[in-house]
Amino acid sequence: MGSAGLWPAINNAVQAGRDACTALFKISWNVFSGFQAILSVMAKAVKKTSVDKEVRDEIAGLKVLAMDSLASFNVLFEHTSDKELKILELGHSELLSLFSKILFAVNSELDQLLADPSAASRRSRISGSVPDSIDYMNSLLTQCRKQNFSDILIAAIIEAATLDQTRRNEKKDDEIIKFKLAHGDRLVKSGIKLLVDYTDLLSRLDDTGSSLSRLSPSMRDKISSSEIFNSKTDLKSMLISELQERFQKMDPFLSGDRAFRYSETKFFPANLGPVRPINQFYGFLPAKEFFRKYLSAFSLKGQNFPLLISSLPGLGKTHFTISYTLSFDNLTLILCEPHHLEKPLVDIIQILGKRSNRRFVLFFDDVDTRKIDWYYFRTNIGGSCVLPENITVIIASNYEYPANILSRGGGFTFPFFDEITCQEMVHDFLMSMGMKAPNKELVSVIAADYVEEFGQHVFEELSPRTLVRYLERYHSDTVKRKKALDMARQDVTTAPDAMCFYEANQKVIQRLKDSI
């Protein structure tokens, strides 16, 4: 082959080599790129697996909190009734029921997240016809009103820990109380932490960018503990008396008092002084029977139509209401001011209505029916608002009620205090002292002596309350008892002056008219 033919062959060979090298390079590059892509996918998979493990570990930790909270809730607040679990009737039963629903909902939703972490996104949207944990949390926050939920929960724990022994008036068993308080301590810490951490987890896993927009923004503030309780506090290590005192401010009814004054949306124990028991009410048999039946029906069955009482001053409206209310162990007396009737009653009704384990008598005394604006009473009592069955209303006045007010409840008017009523009271008093059948002469003499002392200005008024003060002397004054017996044996016995009663009543009526 000549030199002229050799060079083209060499060039062709060189070019073929170059092409082969280029092809080989391309193949190598593609292989490298593919391998790099595989490595990238593997790295992402490893990273995702690592993230999933962290999430799953966190969910597992929340499951422990949920199970602990449910177990302690069961110990404290649930009991078996008719083969099913029911929540105890405590002062905050409605809130406790919502809290229970939250715990069960969160526990169930955590199982869903373990199977599919992307399920968190659904919590940002309306869940449908079945409420979820966010729905229950929003309801709980609304029910808390101005209080923190953790404070309410602790108050309920204290009540539950001492409930059975308090009801049976037994000496408190410290071991049982400590056992329940230990569960209470765990419930507060586990339950509050569960709600905070669970909502944080949902926000982090939410890929819609909504960040739980359905959840009320007040959630963290409402469920966080106040200065009364913090994570360093140990409920089970406190003295019972200390706990009662510290949480009395949150739920004053834990104190065991049964009479309270209501002012500025708060309740304060009322110092009533000595309250005359019902067995020391003399005479007025129709009034005693009426009050007994009315408050007995409310105590046992929740029959709670408003009671509107009227009479002249001093006949016993206030004492009858207080004494007969407190004679029923499950009734609590709330003393309201007359001007409260001229304000919305929704707040006090909502506050007391939630305490379904207690029955409350709202007592408005000395109401001037001629001047008061009845708008809110007509709206809230027998109007658009129906009283919960654990609340009734008693209003006492020296004046008659307007017809449109009287039609909303039951009315009772005390009879005038006359010589007949006076003698009935004296007769009852003598029977209470042990006389089986007091003779009418003795009754007449004692009644006449009382009227005479009124005429001598020993008493400022002729009324049942001054007669009771007069009769109390006979308990300790043997001379007075002997004098009355001697006078009753005379041929002519004195009788109480009917005109004196008439004139005294007329003066009272005139004073009431002059006060307009």
**Beta-strand relationship, 84-87 and 78-81:** antiparallel
* Residue where a domain stops, chosen among 373, 397, 413: 413
Clarify whether residues 321 and 227 are in a common domain. Answer: no
CA distance 122 to 212: 9
Question: How is residue 254 written in tokens?
Answer: 């834990």
| 56: amino acid identity, one letter | R
> Exposed e or buried b for every residue in 104-116, given b needs 16+ CB within 10 A?
ebbbebbeebeee
- 392-402 pLDDT, tens digit each: 999 999 888 88
Clarify whether residues 361 and 382 are in a common domain. Answer: yes
Question: How is residue 355 written in tokens?
Answer: 């305490």
Residue 4 lies in a domain: no
- Cα angle 261-87-77, degrees, rounded to a multiple of 5: 85
Tokens 């408005």 -> residue: 364
Q: Among candidates 248, 123, 234, 116, which has minimal Cα distance to 178?
A: 234
C-alpha 211 chain-centroid distance: 33
Number of structural domains, the chain?
3
CA distance 319 to 413: 15
Clarify whether residues 374 and 461 are in a common domain. Answer: no
| 451: amino acid identity, one letter | V
Q: Among candidates 363, 307, 304, which has minimal Cα distance to 332?
A: 363
Residue 187 lies in a domain: yes
59-68, 221-230, 290-299, 460-469: range with lowest mean pLDDT: 221-230
Clarify whether residues 107 and 222 are in a common domain. Answer: yes
Clarify whether residues 87 and 111 are in a common domain. Answer: yes
pLDDT (0 to 100) of residue 119: 67
**Beta-strand relationship, 259-263 and 266-269:** antiparallel
- 416-426 pLDDT, tens digit each: 888 899 899 99
With contact defined as beta carbons under 8 Å apart, do 404 and 382 qualify?
Answer: no
With contact defined as beta carbons under 8 Å apart, do 304 and 392 qualify?
Answer: yes
* Residue where a domain stops, chosen among 413, 435, 466: 413
Check pLDDT > 60 for residue 238.
no
Clarify whether residues 495 and 396 are in a common domain. Answer: no
Clarify whether residues 135 and 89 are in a common domain. Answer: yes
- Residue 297 is part of a domain; what is its CATH number? 3.40.50.300
27-36, 177-186, 413-422: range with lowest mean pLDDT: 27-36
Cα dist from 343 to 261, 333, 346, whole Å: 16, 20, 9
Residue 13 lies in a domain: no
Check pLDDT > 70 for residue 264.
yes
- Residue 391's SS3 state is strand
With contact defined as beta carbons under 8 Å apart, do 360 and 391 qualify?
Answer: yes
221-235, 249-263, 267-281: range with lowest mean pLDDT: 221-235
Clarify whether residues 403 and 285 are in a common domain. Answer: yes
Kind and range of the H or E element at 295?
helix 285-301
- 198-220 pLDDT, tens digit each: 888 888 777 665 667 788 888 88
Residue 17 lies in a domain: no
Instruction: Tell me the whole-structure pTM to 2 decimals.
Output: 0.61
- Which residue segment(s) compose the domain that 510 sits in? 419-514
Residue 25 lies in a domain: no
- Cα angle 294-406-311, degrees, rounded to a multiple of 5: 70
Identify how many contiguous H helices and E strands the chain contains and give both numbers.
Answer: 18, 9
Residue 266 lies in a domain: no
Check pLDDT > 70 for residue 295.
yes
Question: How is residue 208 written in tokens?
Answer: 């819609």
pLDDT (0 to 100) of residue 5: 61
Check pLDDT > 50 for residue 46.
no
Average the pLDDT over 284-300 and give the result.
Answer: 90
Specify the length of the chain in residues: 516
Average the pLDDT over 163-170 and give the result.
Answer: 52
Share of the chain above pLDDT 70, in %: 75
Mean pLDDT for all residues in the chain? 78
Tokens 């391309």 -> residue: 26
CA end-to-end span of the chain: 146
Clarify whether residues 216 and 244 are in a common domain. Answer: yes
Residue 49 lies in a domain: no
- Residue 84's SS3 state is strand
CA distance 110 to 120: 9
With contact defined as beta carbons under 8 Å apart, do 218 and 138 qualify?
Answer: no
pLDDT (0 to 100) of residue 47: 43
For residue 306, name the pLDDT band (cuts at 50, 70, 90): confident
* Residue where a domain stops, chosen among 413, 437, 463: 413
Residue 209 lies in a domain: yes
CA distance 264 to 258: 19
Share of the chain above pLDDT 90, in %: 9
For helices 440-455 and 498-514, the axis angle rounded to 10 degrees is: 50
Looking at residue 401, what DSSP letter applies?
P
CA distance 77 to 61: 24
Cα dist from 58 to 188, 197, 207, whole Å: 20, 9, 18
Clarify whether residues 446 and 389 are in a common domain. Answer: no
- 92-129 pLDDT, tens digit each: 778 888 999 999 988 988 888 877 766 666 665 665 67
Clarify whether residues 377 and 446 are in a common domain. Answer: no
Clarify whether residues 360 and 493 are in a common domain. Answer: no
Average the pLDDT over 55-67 and give the result.
Answer: 88
